[in-house]
Amino acid sequence: MNDDTTLVERLTNALVRCPSVVGTQGEVTVMGVVDAALRELTAVRDGHVRIYRIPCERDGVGRFTLVAHLPGHSPTAVLLFGHTDTVGIRDYGSLEALAFEPDRLTAEIAQGVLGNDLARRARTGLWQFGRGILDMKAGVAASMAAFDALTTAPPNCHIFWAVTPDEEVGSVGVQALIPWLQTVLSAERLRLVGTINADFVTIRDGVIPWYLGSLGKLLGGVYVQGEPSHVGEPTEGIDPNWILAHITRAIVYNRDLGEESPDESTPLPVSLRQRDHKDVYDVQTAPSASAFYNLFSMNKAPHKVLSSLRMVVEEAVRGLTNESLGLGDNSIPVWTFAELWSQVDSSEQAGIIEASIAVSDLRDRSLALITRAARHVKRGPLVVVFFATGLIPSVSSEPHLNSLLTQVIADLPQQSDPICLRQFYPYISDLSFLAPAPSWWNDSVFTANFPPTRARLVPTIKSKPVTDWVSMIGAAGRGGHRADEGIYCPYTYRVLPVALEMVTRAMATREVPTLP
């Protein structure tokens, strides 16, 4: 591979300096920066590479996925891809104006504005900081350098390189990419044997991880119906925020709601949104409240996740005895959405569904259905557990890719930092939409307790998995989604592009087993 350090550094810095917070016009602008850099590659200028812009369907921002295709001679293909959107920058506080200026921000951090530990890291000259530099603009730059090297000495197979928008919220970019890939693969009779996502990895104890798959995610929901009262007579009603606070305390950081294997464990659950349902301030307690909880999984099916969630909620609610409120054990029922819905008259179900159609966000649509259903069924305190949105399945190429990646690691030049292999990427990723995954959409408990599905108000899933193997090999650093977001430059700028090229070539020549 040619020395592409200059390309990787130059493109990384150019991408970071172009703000591309998810959902903003910057997502379109940054794609223009990527497109311009791509068209500077020799193989692109010589016409050996085809470039495509794939618009995101019904997208008000005008976002698109960018694809480069290097045709090959064999009936196989490999995909390198990543995303260009970032989260926002409020977490930078007084440094917000420097969030997209890597050199200036790194210099400020070296002066100690984010603490002595980060200052020492910045002063080594081995780290660079900025919003999106780790997640995942340096990975995009490194994968482009790898693609450039592949075009210089092409393998037999077809190579696709893609960058997508909106990984951070709705994955609309990869959802546009998948049907396009299916069409091309079918038309050219190709098999996509492997996909490499260059998203970020976190260095822990000096070790850089590579992953053979990605975690699944379910968004657990809890709805609490209270009984409103005047604040001057608080015991004449029941405040749903009080109930929900105890439930949240029982769920957040609860290891029993995670999953463990001998070598890995899922991140602990946290609350992603919690609120009551008062539209305005007044001196009446809220009628209801709700919260969404992030629940990761490796192999745990949705029906088991819901069962575990319900047990934790029931235990929390059982502890809410309060003589002043007339509450004793089991005073507050805990139902699943399926149990709630079964108690709504069929004649009333249609009206509840009709009133929810206008709510576009699936999480809010779930709450709208539950709120109306609960009011039809019961007065007074009630807790409902449910799934607040669609699932993201876990995917894994273990053990098929283990020996291949082990050999690449052993052959890597200029690699002094230890690299380890792990099975599940510990953050959700777009890999989950590309590879064979458990048929969790067929889990009857999931479909019965994801309100829009039960009410036939969930979008149709339009695409099926398109690749055999998946792996996550990306920029290495620390601080993803934090103000200390930064990359470890020696590995990210020098080793990663070489690694991505070597893994792509290895996938292109490796016999792929028939996967279930």
The pLDDT value recorded for residue 112 is 96
475: helix, coil or strand? coil
pLDDT: is 52 or 380 the higher one?
52
- Is pTM beyond 0.95? Reply is no
pLDDT: is 35 or 392 the higher one?
35
Please, which residues bridge with residue 273 across strands? 292
Angstrom distance (rounded) from CA 139 to CA 133: 8
Quick one: pLDDT band at residue 89, thresholds 50, 70, 90? very high
The pLDDT value recorded for residue 49 is 97
The closest of 291, 391, 376, 386 to 335, measured between CA atoms, is: 386
The pLDDT value recorded for residue 1 is 36
Beta strands in 10-151 (DSSP E): 50-55, 64-70, 76-83, 127-129
- The residue-averaged pLDDT of 190-212 equals 96
Amino acid at 231: V
Q: What are the backbone angles phi and psi of residue 433, rounded to the nearest 5°?
A: -95, -5
Beta strands in 10-75 (DSSP E): 50-55, 64-70
Amino acid at 187: A
The closest of 476, 487, 480, 478 to 129, measured between CA atoms, is: 487
The pLDDT value recorded for residue 514 is 55
Quick one: pLDDT band at residue 2, thresholds 50, 70, 90? very low
| CB neighbour class for 232 (10 Å; exposed up to 12, middle 13-18, buried from 19) | exposed
| Joined tokens for residue 220 | 């657990």
287: preceding bond cis by omega (within 30 degrees): no
Measured in whole angstroms, the distance separating CA 296 from the mean position of its chain's CA atoms is: 11
Whether 433 has a pLDDT exceeding 70, the answer reads yes
Measured in whole angstroms, the distance separating CA 17 from the mean position of its chain's CA atoms is: 23
Angstrom distance (rounded) from CA 295 to CA 252: 10
Q: Which tens digit of pLDDT belongs to each residue from 352-405?
A: 998 888 888 889 999 999 999 999 998 889 999 999 988 888 999 988 899 999
Alpha carbon distances (Å) from 133 to 87, 176, 244, 284, 478 = 11, 24, 37, 47, 10
Whether 462 has a pLDDT exceeding 50, the answer reads no
Quick one: pLDDT band at residue 516, thresholds 50, 70, 90? very low
Angstrom distance (rounded) from CA 307 to CA 313: 10
Provide the 8-state DSSP code for 161.
E
Quick one: pLDDT band at residue 277, thresholds 50, 70, 90? very high
Q: How many CA atoms lie within 13 A of 23 on its CB side?
A: 5
18: helix, coil or strand? coil
Q: In what order do the strands lie in the sheet with 382-387?
A: 270-276, 288-297, 216-225, 382-387, 334-336
Provide the 8-state DSSP code for 430.
G
The pLDDT value recorded for residue 6 is 80
Angstrom distance (rounded) from CA 229 to CA 405: 62
Number of Cβ atoms within 10 Å of the Cβ of 279: 5
The pLDDT value recorded for residue 362 is 87
Q: 97-101, 162-166, 175-179 — which is least confidently predicted?
A: 175-179
